[in-house]
């Protein structure tokens, strides 16, 4: 069988946020790469994903020339609202952080912008590949092999491989299990998310701790809103099934958890709904040989802290600087320190996501005492500028120290 061979500097496995941002960052420095993904382009661009962009992520998109649609269609939020014990408390991030804010702009729209720009610049992206395997990752020239959609076998020889293929991809598995330092927490609850054809019910995100469980009011556009309620996790003995949630029950739960004496949700047609489980996961071994992990391949956060996409971009910003230094000067110092430095930032994001998740959800495994502690936490944040500032600076994004 004929194997098509190609030589590039960096092979990128995965066309999610980490892989696409990395490709664009490397192109800016004249570093050649190829991007592989098992999904077709349409599946990547049309799979609806929520997205909250931290201030620095939005600034980077503008710097890379892919921020035009974001600035036109994104929703700029200067803060969030915490709701508990029937009352709402606004946290003004702009005031608390010296001018920083977040932008609600769906992840799949970010991916559309990145793919369009990369293809316009001539980037090699191969969609719909099969049987991706990593070889010789401890050698000077690691390889990626895969099968193209037309059935032809291909081999990519490169200097480095970036594993950006998510939690279930082959990149992390290419590191011997005994060498991977991994940590995980699975939460005893999940989220039921819906997309609704309706105008916004509120001007910013509302995070609600309610006796019936957590709820989140978010937005997607002027005509489509995204909302979530806490439920039992899927795929467990006590797991919830979406069939147990007709639209009427969903609206009953949303109203119970988010309405106040002077405010009620605007209902509309629910056109998408689903249940997801929640976990925290970290693989501290973000480098092995000439394989570097980034994004969900190395870490997962529960969505409560809005960190997933931003954390992935932080990884590849650091990795791109390290690769640039190597190719321009031959200095591998930043490559050698990539894993240790990236992990420090990862754990801070994991801490914040865990903090928001535990503070806002009703955990069936906790005592009444612990639930009251979480309400005290919320009360402290709502009435202490120091506590509110700490939450705000984490939410808008900690600096990526390079």
Q: pLDDT for 176-208, tens place per residue?
A: 999 999 999 999 999 999 999 999 999 999 999
**Position 85 in a domain:** no
Q: Residue 84 — very low, low, confident or very high, per pLDDT cuts 50/70/90?
A: very high
The pLDDT of residue 236 is above 80 = no
Nearest to 217 by CA among 246, 259, 245, 176: 259
**Position 198 in a domain:** yes
- Intra-chain end-to-end CA distance of the chain, in Å: 45
Task: Based on the fold, state whether residues 112 and 14 are members of the same structural domain.
Answer: yes
Domain count, the chain: 2
For the purposes of burial, counting CB atoms within 10 Å of the CB of 163, is it exposed (0-12), middle (13-18) or buried (19 or more)? Answer: buried
Active-site residue identified among 307, 338, 361, 374: 307
**Position 331 in a domain:** yes
Quick: pLDDT tens for 319-367: 999 999 999 999 999 999 999 999 999 999 999 999 999 999 999 999 9
Dihedral angle, C-alpha 388, 391, 393, 397, nearest 10 °: -160
Mean pLDDT on 232-244: 78
Catalytic residue flag (residue 307): yes
Task: Based on the fold, state whether residues 195 and 334 are members of the same structural domain.
Answer: no
Catalytic residue flag (residue 383): no
**Position 56 in a domain:** no
Sign of the torsion angle spanned by Cα atoms 18, 22, 25, 28: negative
For the purposes of burial, counting CB atoms within 10 Å of the CB of 230, is it exposed (0-12), middle (13-18) or buried (19 or more)? Answer: buried
Residue pair 308/349 in contact (Cβ under 8 Å)? The answer is: no
Catalytic residue flag (residue 207): yes
Quick: pLDDT tens for 267-304: 999 999 999 999 999 999 999 999 999 999 999 999 99
Q: Identify the residue with better confidence: 401 or 212.
A: 212
The pLDDT of residue 4 is above 90 = no
pLDDT at 49 (0 to 100): 84
Q: Residue 2 — very low, low, confident or very high, per pLDDT cuts 50/70/90?
A: low
Task: Based on the fold, state whether residues 295 and 236 are members of the same structural domain.
Answer: no
Q: At 227, which CATH number?
A: 3.30.9.10
pLDDT at 194 (0 to 100): 96
Task: Based on the fold, state whether residues 303 and 269 are members of the same structural domain.
Answer: no
Task: Based on the fold, state whether residues 171 and 191 are members of the same structural domain.
Answer: no
DSSP state of 260: B
Mean pLDDT on 36-49: 92
Quick: pLDDT tens for 105-115: 999 999 999 99
**Position 10 in a domain:** yes
In the sheet with 215-217, reading across from the earlier edge strand, the strands are 87-92, 79-84, 206-209, 215-217, 224-231, 182-197, 269-283, 299-300
Task: Based on the fold, state whether residues 241 and 196 are members of the same structural domain.
Answer: yes
Residue 114: alpha-carbon gap to chain centroid: 15
**Position 254 in a domain:** yes
Task: Based on the fold, state whether residues 23 and 112 are members of the same structural domain.
Answer: yes
Residue 291: alpha-carbon gap to chain centroid: 21
Nearest to 196 by CA among 234, 236, 174, 229: 229
Q: How many C-beta atoms lie closer than 10 Å to residue 256's C-beta? A: 15
Structural domain range at position 47: 3-51+106-181+284-357
Residue 277: half-sphere exposure toward Cβ, Cα within 13 Å: 14
Query: What tokens does 388 get?
Result: 């509110």
Q: At 141, which CATH number?
A: 3.50.50.60
pLDDT at 47 (0 to 100): 84
Active-site residue identified among 75, 77, 100, 299: 77
**Position 334 in a domain:** yes
Secondary structure of 333-346 in the HEC alphabet?
Answer: HHHHHHHHHHHHHH
Which residues sit opposite 283 in a β-bridge?
Answer: 182
Separation CA 373–CA 360 (nearest Å): 11
Quick: pLDDT tens for 52-77: 999 999 999 999 999 999 999 999 99
Task: Based on the fold, state whether residues 333 and 230 are members of the same structural domain.
Answer: no
pLDDT at 328 (0 to 100): 97
pLDDT at 237 (0 to 100): 61
pLDDT at 222 (0 to 100): 87
pLDDT at 219 (0 to 100): 86
Mean pLDDT on 171-177: 97
Q: Which range (91-100, 131-140, 228-237) has the least confidence?
A: 228-237
Q: Which helix (H) or strand (E) holds 93?
A: helix 93-97
Residue pair 170/299 in contact (Cβ under 8 Å)? The answer is: no
pLDDT at 238 (0 to 100): 64
Q: How many C-beta atoms lie closer than 10 Å to residue 172's C-beta? A: 23
Active-site residue identified among 105, 146, 207, 338: 207
Residue pair 83/212 in contact (Cβ under 8 Å)? The answer is: no
Separation CA 300–CA 166 (nearest Å): 9
pLDDT at 235 (0 to 100): 67
Which residues sit opposite 75 in a β-bridge?
Answer: 104
Residue 275: alpha-carbon gap to chain centroid: 17
For the purposes of burial, counting CB atoms within 10 Å of the CB of 334, is it exposed (0-12), middle (13-18) or buried (19 or more)? Answer: middle
Task: Based on the fold, state whether residues 191 and 177 are members of the same structural domain.
Answer: no
Is 100 in a helix, a strand, or coil? coil
Task: Based on the fold, state whether residues 274 and 289 are members of the same structural domain.
Answer: no
Average pLDDT over the chain, rounded to whole?
95
Task: Based on the fold, state whether residues 34 and 170 are members of the same structural domain.
Answer: yes
Quick: pLDDT tens for 365-386: 999 999 999 999 999 999 999 9
Task: Based on the fold, state whether residues 231 and 156 are members of the same structural domain.
Answer: no
**Position 366 in a domain:** yes
Catalytic residue flag (residue 395): yes
Mean pLDDT on 141-148: 96
Separation CA 163–CA 213 (nearest Å): 36
């Amino acid at each position: 069988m004929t194997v098509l061979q190609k030589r590039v500097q960096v092979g990128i496995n995965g066309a999610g946020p980490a892989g696409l941002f990395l490709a664009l960052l490397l192109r800016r420095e004249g570093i050649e790469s190829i991007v592989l993904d098992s999904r077709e382009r349409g599946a990547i661009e049309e799979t609806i994903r929520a997205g909250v962009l931290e201030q620095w992520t939005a600034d980077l998109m503008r710097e890379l020339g892919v921020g035009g649609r974001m600035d036109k269609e994104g929703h700029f939020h200067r803060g969030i609202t915490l709701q508990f014990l029937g009352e709402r408390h606004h946290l003004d991030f702009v005031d608390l952080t010296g001018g920083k804010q977040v932008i609600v702009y769906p992840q799949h729209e970010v991916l559309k912008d990145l793919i369009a720009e990369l293809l316009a610049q001539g980037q090699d992206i191969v969609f719909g590949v099969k049987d991706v395997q990593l070889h010789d990752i401890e050698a000077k020239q690691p390889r990626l092999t895969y099968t193209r959609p037309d059935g032809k076998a291909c081999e990519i020889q490169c200097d480095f491989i970036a594993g950006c293929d998510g939690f279930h991809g082959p990149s992390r598995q290419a590191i011997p299990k005994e060498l991977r330092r991994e940590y995980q927490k699975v939460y005893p609850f999940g989220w039921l998310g819906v997309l609704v054809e309706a105008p916004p019910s509120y001007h910013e995100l509302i995070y609600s701790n309610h006796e019936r469980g957590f709820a989140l009011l978010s937005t997607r556009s002027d005509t489509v809103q995204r909302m979530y309620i806490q439920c039992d996790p899927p795929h467990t003995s006590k797991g919830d099934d979406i069939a147990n949630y007709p639209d009427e029950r969903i609206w009953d739960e949303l109203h119970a958890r988010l309405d106040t004496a002077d405010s009620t949700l605007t209902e509309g047609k629910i056109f998408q709904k689903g249940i997801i489980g929640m976990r925290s996961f970290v693989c501290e071994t973000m480098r092995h040989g000439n394989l570097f992990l980034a994004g969900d391949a190395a870490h997962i956060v529960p969505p409560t802290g809005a960190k997933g996409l931003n954390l992935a971009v932080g990884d590849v910003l650091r990795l791109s600087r390290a690769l640039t230094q190597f190719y321009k000067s031959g200095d591998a110092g930043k490559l050698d320190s990539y894993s240790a430095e990236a992990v420090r930032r990862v754990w801070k994001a994991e801490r914040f996501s865990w903090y928001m998740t535990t503070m806002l959800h009703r955990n069936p495994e906790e005592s009444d005492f612990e639930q009251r502690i979480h309400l005290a936490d919320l009360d402290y944040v709502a009435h202490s500028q120091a506590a509110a500032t700490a939450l705000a600076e984490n939410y808008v994004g900690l600096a990526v120290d390079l």
